């Protein structure tokens, strides 16, 4: 096995924080994955402040291979900085980077030099179009960047996509994880005191019903701050045989271990869904609502890939408001078996950072 790192390149990753910080979380994980493989990264974010709790020390240079820089995206007149050119430019989630910035950070390569690579790292989906569009070229036909090519790179769940973020050694860490020790270190009840439920959601209408699910009686609800805590506060009437444990903002490593320690993970967005898959516990995904209910198709595509049993499919549809029906009962054992089987399929595929490095080497 060749364990050598690929040649060290400089990457510029741009992140426009839209809401809920999930986009920034994905970008930091990507930067960390690349740095672990010997790459140098400049992470540009228009709102980098949440990194102070998400990745403590990130902005002060705790990782010498990652430089966090403020991106004045909202200021059209902001001049591009004078920095050494990067080898790879990544527009995360299709964010728009001013042409002058692209040209400054990625000037045309001199004859005989390796080509610079410009990537559009897209949103995660299990829909069929992802496999069709992955690795496609998007030539720039006009304007100051005419003649350049931007490449579409799609994360995904199948071998024909770019894969998912997974740091080296993650599964070994998961296997060595001592759940009760970690729970006690956080001041939380261990597994001898009833099931644990991580709540990281939006505002599901059926949360009050879930509190009374027979499989979750005596449960300890481990509640993320912000919208999840507010949703549970509205749903909580004191009649359920359960306890709630409000949590502070956790660093990414702590959030991962929270998912490892829970029996049911109610997650939302992109980053927490992927981390719940690696956790290998029962999960339910609260998908981000989109106009014209476009997220319904995205949810169904994910459930198809997951090979979700009927009970898990029905629960997702009600939880996400796709159908108007009573909330089906929770089936922890069947749902966890489904997630473990899906994780096994994913582990046979190369992770996102590995595939990105291979793609860049091919295009240079």
What positions carry a catalytic annotation? 23, 270
As a whole number of angstroms, the distance between CA 102 and CA 80 comes to 9
SS3 sequence of 314-345: HHHHHHCCCCCCCCCCCCHHHHHHHHHHHHHH
SS3 content of the chain, % helix, strand, coil (to 5): 40, 15, 45
Calculate the CA 50 to chain-centre distance: 15
Return the number of other C-beta atoms located less than 10 Å from residue 133's C-beta.
15
Comparing CA positions, the residue from 3, 2, 50 lying closest to residue 27 is 50
- The DSSP bridge partners found for residue 150 are 118, 138
Which of 237, 245, 257, 253 has the alpha carbon at shortest distance from 194?
245
CB atoms within 10 A of CB 350: 15
Would the CA dihedral through 335, 340, 345, 350 be positive or negative? positive
- If phi > 0 it is left, if psi is from -120 to 50 it is alpha, else beta; for residue 285 that is beta
Helix residue spans in the chain (DSSP H): 22-36, 51-54, 99-105, 129-133, 170-176, 179-185, 207-210, 227-235, 252-261, 271-279, 294-306, 310-319, 332-347, 352-363
Looking up tokens 């080497």 gives 361
Nearest partner of 130 among 271, 304, 254, 308, judged by Cα: 304
């Amino acid at each position: 096995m060749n364990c050598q790192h690929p040649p060290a390149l400089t990457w510029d990753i741009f992140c426009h924080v839209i809401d809920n910080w999930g986009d920034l979380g994905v970008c930091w994980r990507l930067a960390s994955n690349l740095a672990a493989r010997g790459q140098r990264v400049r992470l540009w974010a228009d709102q980098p402040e949440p990194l102070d709790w998400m990745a403590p020390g990130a902005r002060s240079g705790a990782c010498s291979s990652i430089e966090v820089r403020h991106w004045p995206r909202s200021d059209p007149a902001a001049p591009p900085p004078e920095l050494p050119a990067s080898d790879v430019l990544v527009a995360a989630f299709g964010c728009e980077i001013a042409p002058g910035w692209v040209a400054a950070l990625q000037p045309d390569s001199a004859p005989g030099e390796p080509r610079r690579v410009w990537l559009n790292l897209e949103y995660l989906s299990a829909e069929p179009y992802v496999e069709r569009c992955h690795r496609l070229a998007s030539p720039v036909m006009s304007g100051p960047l005419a003649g350049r090519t931007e490449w579409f790179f799609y994360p995904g769940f199948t071998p024909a996509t770019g894969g998912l973020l997974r740091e080296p050694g993650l599964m070994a860490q998961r296997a060595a994880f001592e759940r009760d020790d970690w729970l006690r270190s956080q001041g939380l009840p261990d597994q001898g005191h009833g099931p644990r439920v991580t709540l990281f959601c939006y505002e599901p209408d059926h949360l009050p019903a879930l509190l009374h699910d027979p499989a979750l009686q005596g449960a300890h609800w481990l509640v993320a701050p912000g919208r999840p805590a507010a949703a549970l506060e509205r749903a909580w009437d004191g009649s359920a045989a359960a306890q709630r444990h409000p949590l502070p903002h956790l660093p990414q490593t702590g959030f991962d271990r929270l998912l490892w320690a829970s029996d049911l993970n109610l997650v939302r967005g992109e980053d927490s869904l992927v981390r719940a898959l690696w956790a290998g516990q029962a999960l339910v995904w609260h998908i981000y609502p989109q106009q014209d209910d476009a997220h319904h198709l995205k949810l169904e595509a994910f459930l198809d890939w997951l090979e979700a049993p009927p009970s898990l499919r029905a629960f997702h549809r009600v939880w996400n408001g796709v159908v108007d029906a009573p909330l089906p009962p929770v089936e922890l054992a069947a749902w966890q078996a489904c997630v473990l089987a899906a994780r096994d399929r994913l582990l046979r595929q190369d992770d996102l950072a590995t595939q990105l490095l291979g793609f860049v080497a091919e295009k240079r």
